[in-house]
Amino acid sequence: MIETRTALIYLLDPGIIIVRVKKDLLQTPDDAEKNLSAAIRQAGERRLPLLLDIRQAMPLEDDIRRQYSGPRVVDNFSALGLVADEGPFGRMMANLYLRVADLEIPTRLFATEGEAIAWLLEHRSPNSRKK
């Protein structure tokens, strides 16, 4: 597990990278860079699915959302499952993220981590190496 100022990042046993954003911390572009770099390091040379848990996250600024949805995500991960709070505010944040992201990998919004993991397991490519 890697801990940054704003997130916990770890590799789940079945081959899924989890980035769990910490509660009530406003992220900076530097935080986003560190979180994304840590997730890439956890994956090693494999292109694994990524679960981004923003249930406790503060809203992200546009430039930070773009950082989390740029080419580094597509090049290093096989799919993105976004877990957001079920309330209207959480759904709004997640939908805004997905609208900005427009990634070239499978991407889906979930209310629970279990649903996200089940879906991400279908998008594992254990033999897939990074570009």
Tokens found for residue 127: 């033999």
Q: What is the pLDDT of residues 7-53, one digit of tens each?
A: 999 999 889 999 999 998 999 999 999 999 999 999 998 999 999 99
Contact between 119 and 110 (Cβ < 8 Å): yes
pTM tops 0.75: yes
Beta strand extents in 41-119 (DSSP E only): 48-53, 77-83, 107-110
Q: For the domain 2-121, what is the CATH superfamily, name and number? A: STAS domain (3.30.750.24)
Contact between 7 and 21 (Cβ < 8 Å): yes
